[in-house]
Amino acid sequence: MINDQDHKYRPKREEMVQKLREMGISNERVLQAFLQVKRHLFVDSAFWDVAYQDSPLPIAANQTISQPYTVAYMTSIVAEHYPSDAKVLEVGTGSGYQAAILCALGYRVFTIERQEILYQQALKRFEELGLKIQCKLGDGTLGWAAMKPFDAILVTAGSPDVPRPLIEQLADDGRLVIPIGDIKTQQMRIFHRQGNQVFESLADHFAFVPLIGKEGWKE
Ligand code: SAM
């Protein structure tokens, strides 16, 4: 068991949550999850002192752990609509932080990562933290057909378009939350499945690393 030095980081985490409130995150369940999950444990110890700043940070394989505000924004969309036993798929495990936040909200969490090193690190991290999150190594643009349907699917990388398999794997009344745009900036879009119809709404702009795969950007 590592010494997580949480006596030092808890006050920084409280400040981060206060800042999220000031930035407009108002869902109390979400804010509680951000208080609970120790973000510093999802980055290299060289970054622990900056882990509670509202910025993305580097992780292995040239990828990033998303900015806390971005994670809170996407999580709030899920929390607004689904009770805590809902089934949620995340595409783009990265550090595992977003998945851990969803887990803290009580969701049944499934997550897919295409980079083997990140997948292995996340598996180890979840085990050490006692988090029951199901992980898969592979192309998340194809979803996880064996585990469908999902009440919510969050894509945490920027896509050129909507991956059809993800829409198909939504439950009735399910929502896909995905940043779509060019390689540099994307607009968050929400696809809400109601029976055989899908309704789309637009939200704010963000900058994500690219979603690479059969239904995303080509390598
Ligand atoms: N959610 C992550 C976290 O909490 O740390 C941050 C995700 S990072 C911004 C985007 C991740 O998506 C990267 O780890 C990248 O390797 C992954 N990714 C990109 N394309 C993917 C794909 N087709 N399937 C699964 N993961 C993918």
CATH of the domain at 201: 3.40.50.150
Domain containing residue 88: 56-206
Say if residue 202's pLDDT is above 80: yes
Residue 21, in any domain of the structure:
no
CA of 192 to the centre of ligand 1 (A): 22
**What confidence tens digit (pLDDT) does each residue in 58-94 have?**
999 999 999 999 999 999 999 999 999 999 999 999 9
Angle between helices 68-81 and 6-22 (to 10 degrees): 70
Provide residues with CB under 6 Å of ligand 1: 63-66, 91-92, 94-95, 97-98, 112-115, 118, 139-141, 156-157, 208-209, 211-213, 216
Active site residues: 66
**DSSP H helices in 82-203:** 97-104, 116-129, 164-168
What is the token pair recorded at 19? 């800042």
Say if residue 2's pLDDT is above 90: no
Residue 216, in any domain of the structure:
no
Residue 96, in any domain of the structure:
yes
d(CA 43, CA 154): 21
Residue 16, in any domain of the structure:
no
Q: How confident is the model at residue 18 (pLDDT cuts 50, 70, 90)?
A: very high
Say if residue 1's pLDDT is above 70: no
Residues in the chain: 219
Domain count, the chain: 1
d(CA 119, CA 202): 30
**What confidence tens digit (pLDDT) does each residue in 144-188 have?**
999 999 999 999 999 999 999 999 999 999 999 999 999 999 999
Which pLDDT belongs to residue 23? 98
Burial class (CB in 10 A: 0-12, 13-18, 19+), 82: buried
Mean pLDDT, the chain, integer: 97
